[in-house]
């Protein structure tokens, strides 16, 4: 699985080096506010849960940028934390990393894992902008389109196997389209993710019910209220591979506020549905992102 | 004949501007089609508002450290007049545009994407100062955005 990731990285670097922008002097910043998105829990540029075709960082085609994020999703029975970062090269290629920890709190005892048993995973991502400019191509219907790959490595392989998960590692493949419809002050995004992940990968990949790749959908729509504030909603469908607990879609309604050029705070009300037999996991999503 | 008449008309340089070589005139040189109706012009507070925004924009960009160097040696009087014409034309304010095409007008300036970003932010600031509603600002910027492809050096 890691081979796919390496192949994409090599392919992305080759494309980058072939682009003429690489030859010139590097230049810091230059992207318009909010047009590098915020960070997903997987570290990639996006909304909070949904991946966008945008490339992380404030850089343009003439520079290198990046972002770092810290996110907490406080649910009735669990806490999900994510910390990580991304590097954007010439607004063309993005490399991202996030570490997630999923604290089962008291539910861990109920599940027989022990109180505060914590699942975890590392997510390594690469994204390549293939065509289109989400911001400047306002006379074209064509959105910005990116392809991506994410390699997930979950930490608790023994428990994952015990609940029916087939693998502790998995590779997701993503195809994303994003568009700012400036005349309507809208930001729209859609992603198809080919994945086997159970609960984002925290409960492993594939399961007793299915061990095949599933095409899942991530959609987002936002309204630019001011140049600093984006209000929106997201949906992310997920596979349902494990027999012991049903898994359904995640949705959220968010506000992303770039209160300073390099700092964006995102607050959301997220509904992650049922997790490991614990129903109605709805709570607060809070994320701080620094970008350059 | 029409082209010749236009070229001749151009020989008269407006007061305060440097003379320029003749070029074919067309409103299409503005790089965007005008809005229909009068709502957008009203949102920009009419011709007077458009003029204030264009003037304020030039005042901002000549001191913006990100892009000021690019504008050194450029004809600021002509730039002010052409921006007013261009904005007024696109906002359906009844003006004609007498400048060069966007590609010709930005040739050899060495503009990069980040420079366009700075210009957009300065224009946003000028529109904010004039009190143009944010949604109307974005509708206007949507018209201007594709010009970036002609303005940035490839």
pLDDT > 70 fraction of chain A, expressed in percent and rounded: 92
Residue B12's pLDDT is 75
Q: Between chains, do A32 and B149 touch, taking CB under 8 Å as contact?
A: no
Query: Which has more confidence, A119 or B11?
Result: A119
Reported as half-sphere exposure (CB side, CA atoms, 13 A), residue A266 has a value of: 34
Task: State what percent of residues in chain B have pLDDT above 90.
Answer: 85
d(CA B76, CA B74): 6
Q: State the CATH number of the domain containing residue A150.
A: 2.40.160.40
Q: Which domain holds residue A179?
A: 2-291
Average pLDDT of B65-78? Answer: 93
- Enter the tokens of residue B66: 């990100």
Residue A25 sits at the chain B interface (C-beta within 8 Å): no
Q: How far is residue A46's CA from residue A193's CA, in Å, rounded to a whole number? A: 13
Q: How many CB atoms lie within 10 A of CB A116?
A: 13
> Which residue(s) pair with A97 in the sheet?
A85, A124
Is B15 a domain residue?
no
> With contacts defined as CB-CB under 8 Å, which chain A residues touch B139?
182-183
Say whether pLDDT at A250 is over 80: yes
For residue B45, what are the domain limits?
29-151
Tell me if B112 and A29 make a contact (CB, 8 A cut-off): no
Domain count, chain B: 1
pLDDT for the residue numbered A168: 97
ipTM of the complex in this document? 0.90
Average confidence score pLDDT of chain A: 93
Q: What is the pLDDT of residue B153?
A: 81
Six-digit token string for A11: 């392919």
- The two tokens of residue A142 are 């064509």
Does the CB of A183 have a partner CB in chain B at under 8 Å?
A: yes
Average of per-residue pLDDT across B81-107: 96
- A59, A62, A83: which is closest to A73 by C-alpha? A83
**Banded pLDDT at B147 (limits 50, 70, 90):** very high
Tally the domains of chain A: 1
Indicate which CATH number applies to the domain containing B128.
1.10.490.10
- In angstroms, the CA B22 to CA B6 distance is 8
CB contact under 8 A, B114 and A27: yes
A 10 A CB-CB count for A160 gives 25
Q: Once rounded to an integer, what is the mean pLDDT over residues B99-126?
A: 95
Flag whether pLDDT at B60 surpasses 50: yes
Residue B100 has pLDDT above 80, yes or no: yes
Half-sphere exposure of A84 (CA within 13 A, CB side): 27
- Condensed to tens digits (0 to 9), the pLDDT of residues A24-60 reads 689 999 999 889 899 999 999 999 999 999 999 999 9
Q: Which of B23, B112, B122, B101 is nearest to A25 (CA)?
A: B112
pLDDT computed for residue A10 by the predictor: 55
Confidence of residue B73 (pLDDT cuts 50, 70, 90): confident
A1 close to A169: Cβ distance less than 8 angstroms:
yes
Strand pairing partners for A144?
A178
Does residue B45 lie within any of the structural domains?
yes
For tokens 């300065």, what's the residue?
A: B122
pLDDT at residue A21, as a whole number:
47
User: Is A227–B135 a contact, with Cβ atoms under 8 angstroms apart?
Assistant: no
CA distance A249 to B36: 43
Residue A19's pLDDT band (cuts 50, 70, 90)? low
Q: What would the pLDDT profile of A86-116 be if each residue is shown by its tens digit?
A: 999 999 999 999 999 999 999 999 999 999 9
- Whether the Cβ atoms of residue A29 and residue A65 lie closer than 8 Å to each other: yes
- Taking the Cβ of residue B107 and every Cβ of chain A, the question of whether any pair is shorter than 8 Å is answered with no
pLDDT value at residue A242:
96
């Amino acid at each position: 699985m890691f081979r796919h990731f390496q192949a994409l990285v090599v392919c992305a670097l080759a494309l980058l080096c072939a682009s003429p922008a690489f030859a010139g002097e590097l230049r810091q910043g230059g992207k318009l506010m909010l047009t590098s998105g915020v960070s997903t829990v997987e570290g990639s540029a996006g909304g909070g849960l949904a991946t966008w075709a945008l490339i992380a960082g404030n850089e343009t085609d003439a520079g290198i940028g990046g972002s770092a994020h810290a996110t907490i999703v406080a649910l009735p029975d669990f806490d999900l934390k994510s910390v990580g970062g991304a590097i954007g090269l010439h607004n063309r290629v993005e490399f991202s990393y996030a570490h997630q920890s999923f604290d089962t709190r008291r539910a861990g005892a109920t599940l027989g894992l022990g109180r505060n048993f914590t699942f975890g995973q590392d997510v390594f991502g690469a994204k390549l902008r293939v065509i289109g400019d989400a911001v400047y191509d306002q006379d074209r219907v064509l959105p910005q389109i990116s392809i991506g790959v994410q390699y997930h490595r979950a930490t608790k392989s023994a428990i994952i196997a015990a609940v029916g998960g087939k693998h502790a590692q998995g590779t997701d493949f993503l195809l994303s389209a994003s568009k700012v419809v400036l005349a309507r002050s809208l930001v729209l995004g859609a992603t198809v993710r080919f994945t086997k992940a159970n609960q984002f990968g925290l409960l492993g990949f594939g399961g007793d019910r299915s061990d095949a790749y599933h095409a899942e959908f991530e959609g987002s729509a936002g309204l630019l209220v001011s140049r600093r504030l984006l209000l929106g909603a997201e949906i992310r469908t997920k596979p349902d591979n494990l027999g012991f607990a049903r898994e359904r879609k995640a949705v959220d309604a968010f506000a992303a506020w770039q209160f300073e050029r390099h700092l964006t705070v995102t607050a959301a009300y997220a509904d992650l549905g049922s997790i490991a037999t614990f129903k109605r996991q709805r709570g607060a999503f809070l994320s701080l992102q620094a970008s350059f | 004949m029409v082209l010749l008449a236009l070229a001749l008309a151009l020989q008269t340089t407006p007061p305060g501007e440097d003379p320029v070589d003749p070029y074919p005139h067309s409103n299409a040189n503005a790089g965007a089609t005008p809005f229909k109706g009068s709502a957008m012009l009203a949102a920009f507070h009419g011709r007077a508002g458009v003029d204030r925004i264009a003037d304020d924009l030039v005042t901002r960009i000549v001191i913006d450290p990100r892009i000021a160097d690019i504008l050194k040696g450029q004809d600021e009087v002509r730039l002010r007049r052409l921006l007013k014409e261009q904005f007024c034309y696109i906002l359906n304010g009844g003006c004609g545009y007498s400048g060069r095409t966007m590609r010709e007008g930005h040739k050899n300036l060495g503009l990069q994407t980040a420079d366009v970003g700075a210009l957009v932010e300065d224009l946003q600031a000028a529109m904010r100062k004039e009190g143009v509603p944010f949604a109307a600002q974005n509708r206007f910027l949507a018209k201007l955005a594709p010009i970036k492809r002609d303005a940035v050096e490839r």
